[in-house]
Amino acid sequence: MSRIFEINLDDTALPPPTPEIEQERKVAIFDLLEDNSFDLPQRSDRPVPDGPYRLDLGIKERRLVFGVQTEAHDPAGEFHLSLGPFRQVVKDYFQICESYFDAVKTLPPSQIETIDMARRGIHNEGARVLQERLEGKAEVDIDTARRLFTLICVLHFGG
């Protein structure tokens, strides 16, 4: 089964999240666990254990760390990604989210919808960057990449 059955965020060194960030986190984790596609590609130098997988996600030494384990807690892989390629899209995403949260308080639905469309576009861009960065390490579909990108943003919030 090529999927994530449990996800743990290492946010111990981060400041407490805002209510909006906490809500984004909860929704992303719930949606991710309900429906995802996550597979580790076969490698010629060693076998790759079958899923489902437990995923530990965190930022260590200014790198995004994916720790992957089997249901039996056996290591299945660990990879570190540079945060550099994510910086601009995360910054843009936070800015548009802030605009969106402000808009829902005061603007008419048509303007909220326009901002939400822009937010989804930036979110899709972040998911695309993540899929590119995971190439050869893990295979994820676009919906899984979107949810993981949300969690990366949550981790960036304090970093």
As a whole number, mean pLDDT of residues 46-59 equals 90
Structural domain for 131, as ranges = 4-158
Q: How many Å apart are CA 143 and CA 37, to the nearest integer? A: 8
- Per-residue pLDDT band for 54 (boundaries 50, 70, 90) equals very high
Looking at the 3D structure of the chain, how many domains does it have? 1
Q: What is the mean pLDDT of residues 82-110?
A: 91
**pTM over the 0.85 mark:** yes
Using the CB atoms, write b or e for 63-87: b if 16+ within 10 Å: ebbbbbbeeeeeebbebebebeebe
Q: Residue 26 above 90 pLDDT?
A: yes
Query: Among residues of the chain, what percentage have pLDDT more than 90?
Result: 67
Q: What's the confidence (pLDDT) of residue 157? A: 63
Residue 38 has pLDDT above 80, yes or no: yes
Dihedral-angle region of residue 62 (phi above 0 means left; psi in -120 to 50 means alpha; beta otherwise): left
pLDDT tens-digit series, residues 67-89: 999 999 999 999 999 999 999 99
